[in-house]
Amino acid sequence: MKLNRIVALSALVVVLGSCNNDDDGTTVEPARPLSEVLAEDEAEIQTYLKTHYYNYEEFKNPSEDFDYQIEVMEIGEGDADKRTLLEDAVPIKVDVPSSHFLISGEETTVAHTMYYLEVREGLGEALSVADSAFVRYSGNLIDGTVFDENNVDFPLWFDLASLQAPATSTFTGTAARGFSEGAALIKGGKPAVVNEEDGTYSVEDYGIGMFIFPSGLGYYNIERTSIPAYSPLIFKLDMYAVNQTDHDGDGIPSIEEDTNGDGYLFNDDADDDGFPDYLDAD
C-alpha cells in the first residue's frame, strides 16, 4: 500500500470519542435490558453471516491489479459453492456491564459475541485494546449503509483505549467499544518505507480484517444521524501500524494498568478517585 503523504508514525495519536464523523446531533432513547436487545441483534447478525460471503478467492489468488479491499456480497443463485461469512467468522466473547449504558436492575454483566474475520494476517506488530492504531477503515450497517469511512490514501490514528469509554464517562463521550476490541485482533504491517524524493511512503504486509458486533458493543440506545438506535455494526479495517501507549506518562504501558486482566480499562481504579488507572499517574 503506497500512501501519498507522510504522516509520522510516532506522532501524537488522535483521540476520537466516536468512530462516526457525523456531528449533526444525537438522540438518546430509553435504554432497554441488554439481554433483550442482544437476542434481537444476534438473530440479525446470524442471518447476515449465513447469507453473505466476501471475496476470499481474490485474496487467495490476487491478480496484479487487486486492491486488497474486502468486498461483501449476498449469496444468490449460482453461489451455492461460496463459503459464507459464518464459516469464516471467529466468535469472540466480550462482557458488557449494564452500567455502561446506565441500565439499572438485576442484570449486571452480559456476555456479547462479536464475529471476527482475519482476511490477511499482518506481518508486523500486534497490539492491545490500550494501544494506538494507524488504520484505514469503513463502517456500515447490516443493510449495507456506509455510515463512516476514511480515504484510502489518508489513514488515521485511533486511540483504542478511549473507544472503550462508557456512556457515563466524561473522558471521551460515547464510543463504539467493538471497534477497539476488533482492531486489537489485527496485526500491523512491516515498517514504513519512505520515498525521500516525493514524500510518499509504503507499508507492506499489513493486516486486513472485518468484524461484526451487536449494538451493546456499539452505540446501543443512542441514535446518530446515520445510525439508528440498537444497530449492530460492521467494520472493515486495514492495520498499517501500531503504537504501544502510556497514556498517563508514568512509565507503565497502559495495557499493564488493566490490573484485573479483563481487557477493559475503565473498571480499574486502584485509588477510587474516579480516574481509571491507565489515565492516573498517581
Question: Tens digits of per-residue pLDDT, 135-168?
Answer: 999 999 999 999 999 877 789 999 999 998 886 6
Report the distance separating Cα 7 and Cα 71, nearest Å: 27
**Using one digit for the tens of pLDDT, what is the confidence trace for 153-210?**
789 999 999 998 886 666 655 568 999 999 999 999 999 888 888 778 889 999 999 9
Model confidence band, residue 104 (pLDDT cutoffs 50, 70, 90): confident
State whether residue 101 is helix, strand or coil: helix
Paired sense of beta strands 146-149 and 132-140, if any: antiparallel
Write the CB contacts of 249 (distance below 8 Å, at least 6 apart in sequence). Answer: 281
The vertex-9 CA angle with 181 and 250, nearest 5°, equals 70
